Amino acid sequence: MQNMTKRGSVYYIRFIVPKERWQDVGRATEARNGIRKDIIKSLETKDYREALRRRADALEVVRQNTNTALLSHDLPPLHGDWKPSWSNSHRRLTEQALMARKALENADAHREPLYADDDPESGMMVGEDNSDRDCKAEIVRDTLSCIADEIGHHLPGKKGQKAAIEAYQRAHDIAFGNATPLSVLLDRWFPSLEGVVTQELIDRHHRAFSRLGAYLAGSIDLKTDKPEDYIRTISIEQIDKRTAGHFREWLEKLPAIGPRVVGFHLSTMNSFWKWAHDVGYAVYNPWEGSTRGLKKKIALASRERGEKRPYTDEELVTLFTQAKERLKHPKKWPWARVIHDMLRLAPLTGCRQNELASLTFARVIRPTHPEQLWRISVTEEVSKTRSSTREVPLHPIAQQVIVQRLAELPEGHSQDAMLFPECKPGGRDNKPGHYLSKRYATFLKSVMGEKPEIDFHSFRRCFATFFAIAEANGAQHCSELVLEHLIGHKPISLAHNTYAAKRFDWSVYDRAIMEMVEKGISDHLRSALKSQ
């Protein structure tokens, strides 16, 4: 069965990835081991003849989706009818225009007067000689015209002529100081983001500009395997309100992205143009208001997928049971121990996965008084936001996990010794939570099936829910403000975020954690937690 396979009684397509593209497709599709040799999708039928009828269309959809993913990572598409025809002519034209701009700025513009009979005293002045700048300007025009003609050859007839004229005019404006290509500004903007935002966000910005390049190239029938290079050749003056509107419409028609990703891309453009306006290169921001109406579409898409929510008590008990069962087979389930520990820590601390995965010996705070709880510190280098830096008390159930992990540290360990050495740093930002996120998602799916409404972050939702239930049941210390302090959120109320103390006495937080477990968690769930 060519490009088909059978699992159980259901038929699947098997899209074969060329060997030389395994790594590219693996990167674009975020394959677990970094490479992808094939892509298998269900044909949702048990009938062989029906599977054959569906095979061709299904393979084409997978090919298009794969090419879209590759395109978003600035990688060339796979084999197929779509072939690049743009080459690097636009980039060469822009680079030539920028070099010419510098040369013209430094050229001498003085013109010697011309006299009749070459006599400055008795002859009449009839004109001026060409200056050095005039001569260089003529050479620049000829050079740019030759390169622009190359662009015109990629398209037939009048389309080619129009493309060549437009490309020449853009390059002419750049060379003579009337326009600024985005390459000049992007080469300043991206370095300014380093160390300020995450690498993941910077990558997202690159994907946004890559898609803008793909849209603009496609709008004039140019096909490019490097759309981000193309957008760098476009001048910032070219992008107007109409372009912004059409780009949003184009994004919303792409099959592989939803309204949330559309919003991310438009937010990138808005941020960049605000910066460009601040540094004096953008007269106005054409992207202002471009996300209007997207919140409703995102909310609708979320409802269709399932609103994110906390785990139910039954789901938590099921997860505890499955994690404990897998501890018996460490070779088959090497991450079972980590996940088992996280299942007790996460819902009782409200910490994010990277905050827990990155825990070190130094970040465990032992009490000086026997009545105090142990605490873990969330420092600035691992916190998501400034408000996330905090210390969280450990309920005795959660403390058991930390005590056991500390006991397993090797002798002579440093202050930076990792409590969860299994969580090796990874991803673009080299975070310990990177692989935990992937392994937990696999575990969750194997236990619960496809449930997009729950994830690791649902433990934080559980923590907040436990607090609210405890307060409703009469807990004196489980207030909303205490919850915001413990979970690492900036209080919304002006009275709380401006006038109230940023931190209370630690006894308040200790009592809140104890009350949360006693009055906010059901007896059944509390028993399941204690039995782990």
Taken in order of first residue, the domains within the chain and their CATH numbers are: 4-72 (no CATH), 89-116+124-175 (no CATH), 182-303 (1.10.150), 313-530 (1.10.443.10)
SS3 496: helix
Q: Kindly report the length of the chain.
A: 532
Helix (H) or strand (E) holding 155: none
Mean predicted confidence (pLDDT) in 504-518: 90
Check residues 434 and 86 and name the one with the higher pLDDT: 434
- CA pair distance 160, 153, nearest whole angstrom: 6
- Burial (0-12, 13-18, 19+ Cβ within 10 Å), 375: buried
The mean pLDDT value for 217-240 works out to 85
What whole-number distance in Å separates Cα of residue 320 and Cα of residue 336?
Answer: 11
State yes or no: pLDDT of 196 exceeds 90.
no
The pLDDT, as a whole number, for residue 54 is 83
What CA–CA distances, in Å, run from 10 to 13, 33, 45? Answer: 10, 27, 6
The three-state (H, E, C) secondary structure of 107-126, written as one string: CCCCCCEEEHHHCCCCCCEE
Mean pLDDT of 38-58: 84
pLDDT tens, position by position, 427-436: 878 889 989 9
What are the CA-CA distances from residue 503 to residues 95, 249, 362, 508 (Å)? 55, 47, 21, 10
**Mean pLDDT over all residues of the chain?**
84
| Band (221; pLDDT cuts 50, 70, 90) | confident
Q: Which residue has the tokens 């916190």?
A: 383
Can you give the pLDDT at residue 26? 87
Contacts 24+ apart (CB under 8 A), 319-322: 319/343, 319/444, 319/447, 319/448, 320/528, 320/529, 320/532, 321/528, 322/443, 322/447
Give the whole-angstrom CA distance, residue 219 versus residue 269. Answer: 19
Contact 269, 208 (CB under 8 A): yes
Please state the φ and ψ torsions of residue 475, each to the nearest 5 degrees: -65, 125
Res 81: pLDDT? 43
pLDDT band of 77, cuts 50, 70, 90: confident
Tell me the average pLDDT across 283-310. Answer: 82
Banded model confidence at residue 1, pLDDT cuts 50, 70, 90: low
Instruction: Kindly state the average pLDDT of the residues 409-436.
Output: 90
**Amino acid sitting at position 296:** K
DSSP state of 410: P
- Is 90 exceeded by the pLDDT of residue 249? yes
Mean pLDDT of 187-210: 90
CB 15 within 8 A of CB 39: yes
Nearest Cα to Cα of residue 347 among 388, 315, 304, 370: 315
Check residues 499 and 112 and name the one with the higher pLDDT.
Answer: 112
Cβ contact 12:49 at 8 Å: no
Start-to-end Cα distance in the chain: 48
State which of 122-131, 136-145, 470-479, 488-497 shows the largest mean pLDDT.
470-479
Q: What is the pLDDT of residue 82?
A: 41
| pLDDT band at 206; cut points 50, 70, 90 | very high
What does the pLDDT look like over 358-373, one tens digit per residue? Answer: 999 999 999 888 888 9
**Given pLDDT bands bounded at 50, 70 and 90, which one contains residue 495?**
very low
Residue 16: strand, helix, or coil:
strand
* Residue range 303-324, pLDDT digits in tens: 666 678 999 999 999 999 999 9
Mean pLDDT confidence for 485-512: 72
Per-residue confidence at 355, pLDDT binned at 50, 70, 90?
Answer: very high
For residue 456, which phi and psi values (nearest 5 degrees)? Answer: -60, -35
What CA–CA distance (Å, rounded) separates 433 from 158?
Answer: 55
Does residue 522 have a pLDDT over 50?
Answer: yes
Query: Residue 454: what pLDDT?
Result: 92
pLDDT given at position 501: 54
Q: How many CA atoms lie within 13 A of 321 on its CB side?
A: 10
Q: Whole-prediction pTM value?
A: 0.61
Map tokens 């450990």 to a residue.
394
pLDDT band at 84 (very low <50, low <70, confident <90, very high): very low
